[in-house]
Chain A
């Protein structure tokens, strides 16, 4: 398929409608029968935030030196929550929709994209809570907030790429679910979510700052909250750090996408 044809098919109205229906269905079913319903998806990250906030400001006290630490922590958790939801749900998307794939020829990527779209909607709703906290914490709102959008887009591309990769691998090896769980735990602590970059020993810092997640999280925070935080560009002292990260994200997304497209022909047989 030529790239132009592919992109054309990608945005076909029927495919867009299908994504929409899958996302809507997912939202309707997720909180089916629960009293608080949708509020849960706001409440869960908030509760985690509450626990971590108390631990790191009252008990361990390393949030003290970070400006606007509550907002710093909450935004980190909200970003992480999106990354986790998009990759985990994306991984399960194909195997979970075996009923469809075995019986009807729909574009498989639509299924993965719909899970990322669900996570993204959730993310934007969570962001409302973040903005509310910013208001409470007296963080000044500036037009720099809009500069965060390209970095959020970068996170979406990275998550989607990983979702494609994981979904394909999960069809072939069911161990992937457990492996990714472990990897996520490592990434949670290897990414500046709970702590600030400037507290990290220099040796480890350079390795950690290579991660695209670290670059995205810090860049989103500096644009939304305050430019006082250290970005990977400042760690390495060159804008190249950021470009390297872009390159990694694009490579992951591109290769995962191609791998998914090649493998997706056989999904119906393997499921």
Chain B
């Protein structure tokens, strides 16, 4: 087949059903007692006609909510489950791990666990021996290898597990949500590995909830929902689609989308997020976040303009008002105006935030002239903060410092 050379993975018409007995009779007694009465089953269609292929060297993302079938898909690709019908063709060797540190035993030493886990991932003893120093070095656990694993912190265990996993020699890596663990310095290291893998000829299939990761690393992605592939394409589009599907609006079938005022005196005609002068939605903690707002003044009136952040559930979090800079009686002239609002770095913690802008009448009890955020328009961009500080965590960054008295 010519496709062998081009594709690392071909999935065709893949179906997977689980038959779950209504009352599981797995003891002989219940089989005997209920002899003659047919076992009744409920059939769950977990994967419904899945079709896609991954090119060699591609970094491919799979996104979907819990229960969408994405884990089953991954397990079927990894040959842990067999397809009910259809075809999964893997060209090349595959790292069959769904989780890090499979088979890790708390009673064994770190060293012993490296060899055990390595063998489970398909390495021979000799290969593990050759890679041992590299594994230990990457995990930064040189001093702890003769300690039992039960004395490791969970972060240390993850580091060790990840270090072994990336040494498994395989053309195709199957990674499921491994980034959610470990401290941030180790996470940075993992991202570094991802970058290296992305530039190598290895194929990676990554399952994740983190749309930031999808957009940064994936060449292509697919979204699975209710057992079906509902979208496939550029990571940006998939991320947008995923956010739409998972925003509170979508779950209540769009009925809660708020109506913007019709024909306002001042209309917000454009909104975009910048990092420096570049359009961006991803920021590290050191980046300034710039919002650029275009308003069209049809009837000049006194206004205050507010740029704000929303929490993931769409609730208002914090905003910054134009009055400080533009004055209380700010009255833009007729025509279009381009305004910018710059947010100093180091205030938002890692995560994703909705943004919005509103034009209001002045005073403490303002009336809305025009407003836009994702509660009004689901296409509004969001801000993703990728870098977590090693020293701070929580809902916002505390400013301050320590000293020795």
Closest CB-CB distance, B46 to chain A, in whole Å?
10
Q: Which of A20, A25, A99, A173 sits near B31, CB closer than 8 Å? A: A173
**How far is B90's CA from A60's CA once the two chains are assembled, in angstroms?**
66
Task: Decide if A18 touches B102 in the complex (CB within 8 Å).
Answer: no
B198 close to chain A: CB less than 8 A:
no
A228 close to chain B: CB less than 8 A:
no
Segment touching B, from A38-46, A61-69, A100-108, A202-210? A100-108
A14 close to chain B: CB less than 8 A:
yes
**How far is B102's CA from A22's CA once the two chains are assembled, in angstroms?**
13
Task: Decide if A17 touches B124 in the complex (CB within 8 Å).
Answer: yes
Q: Which of B26, B29, B112 sits near A172, CB closer than 8 Å? A: B26
- Residue-wise interface mask of B (69-111) relative to A, using a CB-CB cutoff of 8 A (1 in contact, 0 not): 0000001001111100000000000001111001101011000
A179 close to chain B: CB less than 8 A:
yes
Task: Decide if B27 touches A173 in the complex (CB within 8 Å).
Answer: yes
Task: Decide if A14 touches B119 in the complex (CB within 8 Å).
Answer: yes
What A residues does B115 contact at CB under 8 A?
Answer: 21
Instruction: For A20, give the chain B residue with the smallest CB separation.
Output: B125
Given known A-B contacts A104-B97, A265-B82, A268-B75, A18 and B120 have beta carbons under 8 A apart:
yes
- Residue-wise interface mask of A (243-271) relative to B, using a CB-CB cutoff of 8 A (1 in contact, 0 not): 00000000000000000000001101100
Closest CB-CB distance, A236 to chain B, in whole Å?
35
Closest CB-CB distance, A170 to chain B, in whole Å?
10
Task: Decide if B80 touches A103 in the complex (CB within 8 Å).
Answer: yes
**How far is B126's CA from A20's CA once the two chains are assembled, in angstroms?**
12
A29 close to chain B: CB less than 8 A:
yes
What A residues does B121 contact at CB under 8 A?
Answer: 104
Task: Decide if A17 touches B123 in the complex (CB within 8 Å).
Answer: yes
B396 close to chain A: CB less than 8 A:
no
- Residue-wise interface mask of A (8-46) relative to B, using a CB-CB cutoff of 8 A (1 in contact, 0 not): 000001101110111001001100100000000000000
What A residues does B120 contact at CB under 8 A?
Answer: 18, 21, 100, 104, 106
Task: Decide if A14 touches B122 in the complex (CB within 8 Å).
Answer: yes
**How far is B116's CA from A20's CA once the two chains are assembled, in angstroms?**
9
Select the residue from B81, B105, B108, B120 with max chain A CB neighbours within 10 A: B120
Select the residue from A172, A266, A269 with max chain B CB neighbours within 10 A: A269
**How far is B31's CA from A268's CA once the two chains are assembled, in angstroms?**
22
Closest CB-CB distance, B25 to chain A, in whole Å?
9
- Residue-wise interface mask of A (162-180) relative to B, using a CB-CB cutoff of 8 A (1 in contact, 0 not): 0000000000111110010
Task: Decide if B103 touches A269 in the complex (CB within 8 Å).
Answer: no
Closest CB-CB distance, A262 to chain B, in whole Å?
11
B18 close to chain A: CB less than 8 A:
yes
State how many residues of chain B have any CB contact under 8 Å with chain A: 33
Task: Decide if B99 touches A103 in the complex (CB within 8 Å).
Answer: yes
A180-216 at interface with B (beta carbon < 8 Å): none
10 contacts between A and B (CB under 8 A): A16-B124, A21-B120, A22-B116, A29-B105, A29-B108, A32-B107, A100-B103, A103-B80, A104-B78, A104-B121
**How far is B39's CA from A172's CA once the two chains are assembled, in angstroms?**
14
**How far is B28's CA from A99's CA once the two chains are assembled, in angstroms?**
25
Q: Which of B18, B81, B98, B125 sits near A104, CB closer than 8 Å? A: B98
Number of A-B contacts (CB under 8 A): 82
Instruction: For B176, give the chain A residue with the smallest CB separation.
Output: A103
Select the residue from A28, A101, A265 with max chain B CB neighbours within 10 A: A28
What A residues does B80 contact at CB under 8 A?
Answer: 101-105, 268
Closest CB-CB distance, A219 to chain B, in whole Å?
35
Closest CB-CB distance, A15 to chain B, in whole Å?
9
Q: Across the A-B interface, give the 9 residue pairs with the lowest CB-CB distance, nearest first.
A: A21-B119, A105-B79, A105-B96, A175-B28, A18-B119, A17-B124, A13-B124, A265-B82, A17-B125
Task: Decide if A268 touches B105 in the complex (CB within 8 Å).
Answer: no
Closest CB-CB distance, B67 to chain A, in whole Å?
16
What B residues does A28 contact at CB under 8 A?
Answer: 107-108, 112
**How far is B268's CA from A217's CA once the two chains are assembled, in angstroms?**
92
Closest CB-CB distance, B328 to chain A, in whole Å?
62
Closest CB-CB distance, A11 to chain B, in whole Å?
12
Task: Decide if A269 touches B123 in the complex (CB within 8 Å).
Answer: no
**How far is B98's CA from A172's CA once the two chains are assembled, in angstroms?**
25
**How far is B300's CA from A18's CA once the two chains are assembled, in angstroms?**
77
**How far is B79's CA from A101's CA once the two chains are assembled, in angstroms?**
11
**How far is B97's CA from A268's CA once the two chains are assembled, in angstroms?**
14
Q: Which of A22, A25, A105, A269 sits near B18, CB closer than 8 Å? A: A269
For the complex with contacts A100-B120, A173-B27, 8 further pairs of A-B residues with Cβ separation under 8 Å are: A13-B126, A17-B119, A21-B119, A21-B120, A99-B103, A104-B97, A106-B120, A179-B28
Task: Decide if B26 touches A25 in the complex (CB within 8 Å).
Answer: no
What A residues does B119 contact at CB under 8 A?
Answer: 14, 17-18, 20-22
Closest CB-CB distance, A101 to chain B, in whole Å?
8
What A residues does B26 contact at CB under 8 A?
Answer: 172-174
Q: Which of B28, B112, B126 sits near A25, CB closer than 8 Å? A: B112
B23-42 at interface with A (beta carbon < 8 Å): 26-29, 31
Closest CB-CB distance, B105 to chain A, in whole Å?
7
Given known A-B contacts A18-B119, A20-B125, A29-B107, A268 and B81 have beta carbons under 8 A apart:
yes
